[in-house]
Structure 1
Amino acid sequence: MTFDARDPEALGRFWAELLGYRPDPPPEGFDTWDAALDAFGVPPERRDSAFAVSDPDGAGPRLFLQKVPEPKTEKNRVHLDVNVAAGLARDERRVRVAEHVQRALRLGATHVREVDEPLGYAVVMLDPEGNEFCLQ
């Protein structure tokens, strides 16, 4: 999954912390990303152009964040649903989601609204760059 971003590393670190992901390690044969980028001929002024994070268990999708010059201007057509309360009863689900909302807020997210419908409960949030996501 690819995100456009103003600051790929900062946004990637937000998502890594929220999802329990880790930044992707440098390619095999390199101790650091700087060493790899030196070998690949990437100039220092372009080294902030991308960042990637992955699920250490390999179950979730890899997130690739790429730098773009323009800001986000409209609602996302696709967003992540972060399922933090799978299998819990309705009241327990609300408590678990509320805990994760507070954690997301501490990481820099913004609360938008609650969605409480017969088929489910979720809280709509914005990541630090304004991309919508739901905690459910």
Structure 2
Amino acid sequence: MTQSLLVYDGSNPMFRAAAEAATRQVDGVVAVRWDAKPIQAFLEAQFDSRPFAFILVEGESVHVGTETVGRILSRLGLADPLVAGLKRAYAAGGAPVGRLIHGRTIADLDGTFPLSAAAASHLTDLRQVQEIPVEEAPIEED
């Protein structure tokens, strides 16, 4: 089975910790920061833009927003009613939380989309890596 990629905002310590915890508990999923160059190229190829969103690339599908929340929580083994409630909470609170925590509004993009061939080519190397560091790399100053 092809490794799944969880695209998340790595600029926030809380989200880095959540991504690390989720990927540690779910087989076959690695976390990749939204701002990683290969992910930015993937987003441009998949959506003709670079939407700021919570994304799960799973097989030949790209899940965005509430669908990502639902799929990850289900893979963690949470009960369906809890997953449904958390999806509703994400749908209702995602935009304001995005502005507050991320400093930007999450993209108005939600659902499951087929993975385009052009976008898939940007993920080949990432899907081969067994572990992608979730921690922020130190920035060197001049």
TM-score range, shorter chain: 0.3 to 0.5
The structure with the largest strand share of the pair is 1
Task: Give the TM-score of the pair, scaled to structure 1.
Answer: 0.33
Task: Give the TM-score of the pair, scaled to structure 2.
Answer: 0.32
Higher relative contact order (CA 8 A, sep 6+): 2
Higher-Rg member (1/2): 1
